[in-house]
Amino acid sequence: MKHYIFADESNINQSRFLLIGGIWINEITYNAAKEECNQYKLSIGWREDTKFNWKNISNKALNKYKGFIDIFFKYNLQFNAIIIDRKEINLKHNEEKDEELGFYKFYYQLLKHNSISNTDYYIFLDRRNNKSDTRLDDLKKILINEQFIPTGLKFHSEIKGLNVKDIKAVNSKDYNLIQFADILLGAIGFHYNKRHLKPDASCAKCEFASYITNKLGTKNLIFSTGKKGYKNLNLWLFKTTIEKASYDLQFP
């Protein structure tokens, strides 16, 4: 059976916490969830290609966003995210001193550690402007290839490659599940970066983030599950002191 990953990023510029995350889903569930999302949009007077986007949450649209995220919870979809603390991690700390390369190294971490071997993956990333045209090809190569990391003077630990059938950048208006990722990352980043505490914080965004929090039964969205996950949300706050070896893997 095919498995899909629909991923996005949030708080890329001028934020302490940068987030990359997405939805992991099998083909059968995807087809059902996609159809329900399309029907929901039509039911609220939107076109199927109208985009749910964190930055567009307003008091007027708030209930529509709540209804949309209800579909995510109805299907118990799996959301995984990696959270990078810019105070601790410099994305330019790599062999090429390239911030974009550092960003994609964390995309690798997210995809690799939340996927399993012997499964066919089709990966869709929200389109972004890259300086290098080979970023997705390089990402696919390193996901497929088996890697080895040092564990001592003599022994190495094998990291088995994934069956990545395709990886492409797409327009998120055409993919409802990237829109799920967008608004979830937006809400999590809203809390992690403490924007909900600012005097001029958007009331609609505060309420929407609280709506997700209530669904999860947590105090807020500032938590880290490591790689175990919490219900259907896995928020992995990356720690260089613990996980530096895996971050230092070389891209081709």
Kindly report, residue by residue over 1-27, the tens digit of the pLDDT.
999 999 999 998 889 999 999 999 999
CA distance linking residue 224 with residue 243, whole number of Å:
15
- Helices assigned H by DSSP within 77-175: 99-113, 135-144
pTM of the predicted structure, to 2 decimals: 0.90
Residue percentage of the chain with pLDDT more than 90: 74
What does the pLDDT read at residue 165?
96
Classify strands 78-85 and 2-10 as parallel, antiparallel or unpaired: unpaired
Q: Are 160 and 202 in contact (CB under 8 A)?
A: no
**pLDDT higher than 70, residue 40:** yes
Tokens of residue 243, six digits = 């996980």
| Closest to 210 (Cα-Cα) out of 191, 194, 189, 183 | 191
Task: Give CA separation, 174 vs 28, 80, 178, 237, in Å.
Answer: 19, 21, 9, 29
- Largest separation between any pair of C-alpha atoms in the chain: 63
**CA-CA distance, 186 to 122, in Å (whole number)?**
24
- Evaluate if residue 64 carries a pLDDT over 50: yes
Q: How far is CA 30 from CA 10, 41, 75, 78, in A?
A: 23, 16, 9, 11
Read off the tokens for 71.
């579909």
Cβ proximity of 202 and 57 under 8 Å: yes
- Average pLDDT for the chain: 89
Query: Could you tell me the CATH superfamily of domain 2-247?
Result: Ribonuclease H-like superfamily/Ribonuclease H (3.30.420.10)
Tokens describing residue 211 = 């709506």
d(CA 57, CA 67): 13
